[in-house]
Structure 1
Amino acid sequence: MYAAVEHGPVLCSDSNILCLSWKGRVPKSEKEKPVCRRRYYEEGWLATGNGRGVVGVTFTSSHCRRDRSTPQRINFNLRGHNSEVVLVRWNEPYQKLATCDADGGIFVWIQYEGRWSVELVNDRGAQVSDFTWSHDGTQALISYRDGFVLVGSVSGQRHWSSEINLESQITCGIWTPDDQQVLFGTADGQVIVMDCHGRMLAHVLLHESDGVLGMSWNYPIFLVEDSSESDTDSDDYAPPQDGPAAYPIPVQNIKPLLTVSFTSGDISLMSNYDDLSPTVIRSGLKEVVAQWCTQGDLLAVAGMERQTQLGELPNGPLLKSAMVKFYNVRGEHIFTLDTLVQRPIISICWGHRDSRLLMASGPALYVVRVEHRVSSLQLLCQQAIASTLREDKDVSKLTLPPRLCSYLSTAFIPTIKPPIPDPNNMRDFVSYPSAGNERLHCTMKRTEDDPEVGGPCYTLYLEYLGGLVPILKGRRVSKLRPEFVIMDPRTDSKPGF
């Protein structure tokens, strides 16, 4: 296999991105006809939660073609949380989004006629440790750090709840692949097993000295069969009212493995929670986050590792960099990606038929292109040449045949289109419409009073990745006539308006 960070500018928000979740874009067709989802994974939506309490929903595409049409609106900033958003979870069968904040508030969002609105609100007043949808999307499992667990329906009805008396906190909760049991991990290395009706089944100690960070299965998150063979590619599809929508989730032949990650960086691959001889992965990383790809044959483990060769000071602290290690179902190390990122990777998620791995580190979002097969020489040459070029326009300066230039340019086509203006060309960005038919949504805020003018200043922000990008700043120069001075918010200098 081969993996490389996508070329181009680093995508950033105005606050730390704390969680990620991706789902494919559902096409639109006539209501009377079935919907084909052959290209379901080529386009999709990425949900992000940040430290300002804003949820971002951003369009993504892996077509690597510039002439592809995009939705009319490619970014949504969903507001409503009063604290930082720590969890985002898509429900693909029912096209809903669950978000949790640090104060315990849980929102379930739905999209209708191009707008997102809150359908359900649950606020128990305690911190949520995990939120997981069942594989058919009909049930939600909510676990709290104080030991309270709850299972409810997708429509908000409570099925059962229980109070688990523990000396340590619950850190995560998941469904078994058949949705008949739920597992909870604790900070003191235990796993608690309950059936789908809330009855206690088992209490197992996995590790005496390490706490459980997270648990997952190398199994599709949602299981719904595809029932269509048409070929449509529109945007606003509404799922039928009598049941979930159908998606081409690949059915894997690999026996499901329970994957448990510990605070030490070790990861156990188990046939079940009572497996006495699990396969242990010694990742050698700290602050690990792990997730299986949709096919279930590749495990991505991201974390921090000390650098002992470069950047080491004789009497100072060692520099750290984040890296991603990939393992197969036997726990064998396959590939290591050095990211050169100096901050911990907070969250990762797979997308686009496992061809993309999205990573959040601080306010930055990184996209990794993943090739699961043996890399071709052409792909390796493409990545080597693209890494030496600064911009896409430098490709035309190479003495290469047009076909090879076109192939090389695909390395610079971003998965997430950055609608961020060029600071050196701000006038054209604000004066002319975008090249496509998409709409760019903005927010205006009153910033501060200008002592020279004696009046307020206003800044126009572009919404992006749950954050705000300043594009214009203005102040009133006359109280008698509506006259304003427009400036570049980064330099406070007039751009010539």
Structure 2
Amino acid sequence: MFIYLSKKIAMPNNTKIKAIAWNKQDGYIAVGGENGLLKVLKLDSSIDPEATSNRGLAASSNLSMNQTLEGHNDNIRVLVWNESHKKLTTSDENGVIIVWMLYKGTWHEEMINNRKKSTVVGMAWSGDGQKICIIYEDGAVIVGCVGGNRIWGKELKHVKLSGVQWSPDGKLLLFSLKNGEVHLYDNQGNFVMCINIVCDDTKLDTNPIVGLDWYNGVDGYTFAFCPNLAILFDDGKGQLMRNESDTDPVVINTRMKVVHCSWNHNGSLLAISGKQRLDEKEVNLVQFYSPFGEHLRTLKVPGVSISCCVWEGGSLRVALAVDSFVYFANIRPDYKWCYIKKTVVFASCKPPKPGICLSFWDTTNNQYHTRWVSVLLALAGHGEYCIVATRSETEGSLGKYNLQLFNTLGTAVDAKYLNIEPIAVAMNSYQVFAASKNNFLVWHYKTPKSITVGAVRCKMFHIDDNPSGAVEIIQELDSMNAVPVSTHDTIDPICCLTATDRCLIIGRESGLIHYYTLPHIVLTNRYKNAVRPHKMTVNCNSTRLAVIDVAGVMTVTDISEGVGRPKTAAQGNKLERKDVWAMCWASDNPQLLAVMEKTRMYIFKGIYPEEPVACSGYICNFNDLEIQAVLLDEVVASHDKPSNDHIIKLEVKSLRDTRQLLEKVGINEAFQFVEDNRHPRLWRLVAEAALKELDLTMAEVCFVRSNDYAKINFVKKLKEMKSEAIRRAKVAIYFKNFDEAEKIAMEADRSDMALNLRETLGDWFRVIQILKNGVPAPDHLLKTAYNCTADYFAHFNNW
């Protein structure tokens, strides 16, 4: 994932913000601050209907609501939304609780309560929005219904409460105490047990719990038995539990003073906000963790003191309360997806069905196929196939982990069981590469096209090994004396990999990058990156490597010596960009690279960028000077079948300029421009413009430059035709203007040509119409037309 600050909103009179709550269903943002400041904001995206790429996060966001709610006089402490019933509950330091409701587009006070004895330190609505639990600092607990009636109350003696959460099923209540304990009660107020705390080894009362969040599972889970209960202490330590009885929770240490934590909409990310002392000064940080405790990203936030971080409904933005400002940060998730032969393959959760749904969306025919897996670990694609790494809940004799090869229809073609946990996969036209943190595996897969080519071979290597290729060949010849591969833990684990038909490249956490030549796995080079690599990709001729590190910095390295070419040593040829979250090399030009920076797409030719285009899509394909991207945020979030509206097509500047020259200036000027910016697509564009004007000499020259032999022959045949009308008809057929071609042929008294055209297209209805108009034709043609028309109706059971 990649995250960056995108917007900043200031509160009036520099009033410090104490709490923020974001309504995940309707998008309202409640902001509470000092002296009773309470605002409700709403961000709406203004989309230009003519700009197809300016959608998603690339659309400009403006405040469509900025309402100040009056009723509190003291500092706001707690804000909670009841999304089911569209209510907002707020409380201040004086114990005043107000419930707000939306009426005719504005928020109004619905009810008010004032206990006056103590301060409200926590409020939580149950998952169904029917009950609210309110806790006070002195140990008082009140549970009420959505209508405002009190259900029960309880005084917890000799405790100071700090937070409350409902269990996902609404049957349990979880209370955090300022002394570091967590108590569990049922929904009637009866004590059940104390939660086992394993992350706090100090056992001191001075280490209070400051973060408590229990994801309710309403949007599904990305993994089976996924931790969903987060408990964070003031000193930065915390634990992530699968349920209230988890005896082996995931322990994390953020190494900062924590103030708040919150799960995203589907429990796949945990945001922890706080402060950390760096270079003799305190810095506001938001750290992002996976449910299994893996640190993913850290966001530095300007200002003196951060108070909380909350998520938008789709988890594409977070709102941060810092001093008297609300900062917004955009998030680009690392979706598990790939693009194979005009088919987008992506993973998503579709509750209430458990597991991960793999969707195969054919963007050409708009066909949609799905497959379900229990736990998805990694996904990659190449050509017509994709490789899916999964984990089964029961370990079989062949291994607990599985590699499955799927085609574009979602049909499994080949499979391989593993005993190592793959964290990253890649593939080329004949091999699959899977890597754990210590080992990597090379598997020669089978497809229906290659089913008879040799036996399936699988080799495994340790990342600390130095394979030369010769030993592996000897072991293949002497398979009886195979040497077992070590699986010991390395001090520098694998973090990512990529592959082409010529090379395999593996990145390690220290920044070291290994270059292996294929097909024999031979370690020929090592490159050093300053920071841990996150994503890697190689251009079409395996001469340049683009790497995005965990800080979002992209560097391009020359690896041409690996394919026998001299390495470019000029320092001026180095390309480095910041705030990059995706990239894609052109499949037909080793110099062209498309890069996504924040909400802009840059296209580089060598080290020189073109003017950026606003876009937040994920790049599928870069070919023929055209980029195809998919709005994956909308596709994954939507429960409906995706449509072509989610596909964005962008053209390289040279292609756009050539079109403009042809439209506004002329063919000769466009020819000169393409001469300076050579590419087969541009030559083809000029050739087709010349064809439309029947400038056959120019068309032939341009088709020759584009190396298109079939079209060269087509132009030669046009030159041999004496009738200009027939030439125009043939050109119309070339551009698929069939009605125009038929009209020209009929006007030139060439009805045979019109009939032959419709017959070739299989348009037998039109053949019958032409024959009925008295056009002479053989009898068998009319009989064939009627028979084919009858077959058409029979196919649809129209007897």
Q: Identify the match of residue 310 of structure 2 among 320, 340, 349.
A: 349
- Going from structure 1 to structure 2, the CA distance change for 1:104 and 1:328 (only over 3 Å counts) comes to same
The structure that is helix-richer by fraction is 2
Q: Does 1:45 align with 2:28?
A: yes
- Which residue is equivalent to 2:97? 106
- Going from structure 1 to structure 2, the CA distance change for 1:187 and 1:205 (only over 3 Å counts) comes to farther
Q: Aligned-pair RMSD on alpha carbons?
A: 3.0
- Which residue is equivalent to 1:293? 264
- Which residue is equivalent to 1:76? 67
Distance in structure 1 (CA, Å) of the matches to 2:132 and 2:609: 56
Match runs of 1:346-425 below 5 Å: 346-373=307-334, 375-377=581-583, 381-383=596-598, 400-401=610-611, 404-407=612-615
Distance in structure 1 (CA, Å) of the matches to 2:63 and 2:245: 50
Tell whether the 8 Å contact from 2:3 to 2:329 is kept in structure 1 after alignment: yes
Tell whether the 8 Å contact from 1:137 to 1:154 is kept in structure 2 after alignment: yes
- TM-score, normalization: structure 1? 0.63
- Going from structure 1 to structure 2, the CA distance change for 1:24 and 1:219 (only over 3 Å counts) comes to closer
Q: Indicate the SS of the match to 1:376.
A: strand
Q: Indicate the SS of the match to 1:79.
A: coil
Tell whether the 8 Å contact from 2:8 to 2:326 is kept in structure 1 after alignment: no
Q: Does 1:278 align with 2:249?
A: yes
- Going from structure 1 to structure 2, the CA distance change for 1:66 and 1:264 (only over 3 Å counts) comes to farther
- Which residue is equivalent to 2:19? 19
Report the residue type matching 1:212 in the other structure. I
- Going from structure 1 to structure 2, the CA distance change for 1:400 and 1:264 (only over 3 Å counts) comes to same
Tell whether the 8 Å contact from 1:189 to 1:205 is kept in structure 2 after alignment: no
Tell whether the 8 Å contact from 1:181 to 1:193 is kept in structure 2 after alignment: yes
- TM-score, normalization: structure 2? 0.40
- Going from structure 1 to structure 2, the CA distance change for 1:74 and 1:333 (only over 3 Å counts) comes to same
Tell whether the 8 Å contact from 1:287 to 1:344 is kept in structure 2 after alignment: no
Report the residue type matching 2:36 in the other structure. G
Q: Say which structure, 1 or 2, has more relative contact order (CA 8 Å, 6+ apart).
A: 1
Distance in structure 1 (CA, Å) of the matches to 2:294 and 2:60: 41
- Which residue is equivalent to 1:169? 160
Count of paired positions: 341
Residues 131-150 of structure 1 deviation map (CA, whole Å, 9 limit, x = unaligned): 00000000000011100101
Q: CA deviation at 1:252?
A: 5.8
Tell whether the 8 Å contact from 1:170 to 1:187 is kept in structure 2 after alignment: yes
Report the residue type matching 1:55 in the other structure. L
Q: Indicate the SS of the match to 1:74.
A: strand
Residues 16-74 of structure 1 deviation map (CA, whole Å, 9 limit, x = unaligned): 11111111465xxxxxxxxxxxxxxxxx2111111120211111135665998999962
Q: Does 1:133 align with 2:149?
A: no
Tell whether the 8 Å contact from 1:219 to 1:294 is kept in structure 2 after alignment: no
Distance in structure 2 (CA, Å) of the matches to 1:253 and 1:281: 19
Report the residue type matching 1:302 in the other structure. S
Report the residue type matching 2:146 in the other structure. V
Q: Does 1:195 align with 2:157?
A: no
Residues 266-324 of structure 1 deviation map (CA, whole Å, 9 limit, x = unaligned): 1111233343332211101113311111110111111111112xxxxxxxxx2111111
Tell whether the 8 Å contact from 1:302 to 1:345 is kept in structure 2 after alignment: yes
Tell whether the 8 Å contact from 1:51 to 1:84 is kept in structure 2 after alignment: yes
Distance in structure 2 (CA, Å) of the matches to 1:111 and 1:69: 26
- Which residue is equivalent to 2:209? 212
Tell whether the 8 Å contact from 2:305 to 2:322 is kept in structure 1 after alignment: yes
Q: Identify the match of residue 235 of structure 2 among 259, 264, 284.
A: 264
- Going from structure 1 to structure 2, the CA distance change for 1:73 and 1:151 (only over 3 Å counts) comes to same
Q: Does 1:90 align with 2:296?
A: no
- Going from structure 1 to structure 2, the CA distance change for 1:107 and 1:195 (only over 3 Å counts) comes to same
- Which residue is equivalent to 2:145? 153
Residues 107-138 of structure 1 deviation map (CA, whole Å, 9 limit, x = unaligned): 00011122322112111111011000000000
Distance in structure 2 (CA, Å) of the matches to 1:91 and 1:380: 41
Report the residue type matching 1:338 in the other structure. K
- Which residue is equivalent to 1:417? none
- Which residue is equivalent to 2:300? 338
- Going from structure 1 to structure 2, the CA distance change for 1:174 and 1:72 (only over 3 Å counts) comes to closer
Q: CA deviation at 1:372?
A: 1.3
Q: Does 1:186 align with 2:394?
A: no
Distance in structure 1 (CA, Å) of the matches to 2:20 and 2:180: 25
Distance in structure 1 (CA, Å) of the matches to 2:106 and 2:263: 32
Distance in structure 2 (CA, Å) of the matches to 1:100 and 1:155: 18
Tell whether the 8 Å contact from 1:54 to 1:80 is kept in structure 2 after alignment: no
- Going from structure 1 to structure 2, the CA distance change for 1:65 and 1:211 (only over 3 Å counts) comes to farther
Q: CA deviation at 1:180?
A: 0.2
Tell whether the 8 Å contact from 2:46 to 2:60 is kept in structure 1 after alignment: no
- Between Structure 1 and Structure 2, whose CA radius of gyration is higher? 2
Distance in structure 2 (CA, Å) of the matches to 1:218 and 1:155: 25
Q: Indicate the SS of the match to 2:597.
A: helix
Distance in structure 1 (CA, Å) of the matches to 2:220 and 2:45: 18
Q: Indicate the SS of the match to 1:52.
A: helix
- Which residue is equivalent to 1:59? 42
Q: Does 1:142 align with 2:167?
A: no
Q: CA deviation at 1:381?
A: 4.4
- Going from structure 1 to structure 2, the CA distance change for 1:380 and 1:165 (only over 3 Å counts) comes to farther
- Which residue is equivalent to 2:589? none
Q: Indicate the SS of the match to 1:330.
A: coil
Distance in structure 1 (CA, Å) of the matches to 2:276 and 2:61: 39
Q: Indicate the SS of the match to 1:346.
A: strand
Distance in structure 2 (CA, Å) of the matches to 1:70 and 1:262: 35
Distance in structure 2 (CA, Å) of the matches to 1:110 and 1:49: 16
The 4+ residue runs of structure 1 with deviation greater than 6 A are 66-72
Tell whether the 8 Å contact from 1:104 to 1:127 is kept in structure 2 after alignment: yes
Distance in structure 2 (CA, Å) of the matches to 1:258 and 1:291: 10
- Going from structure 1 to structure 2, the CA distance change for 1:254 and 1:154 (only over 3 Å counts) comes to farther
- Going from structure 1 to structure 2, the CA distance change for 1:2 and 1:170 (only over 3 Å counts) comes to same
- Which residue is equivalent to 1:472? none
Distance in structure 1 (CA, Å) of the matches to 2:267 and 2:61: 30
Tell whether the 8 Å contact from 2:161 to 2:175 is kept in structure 1 after alignment: yes
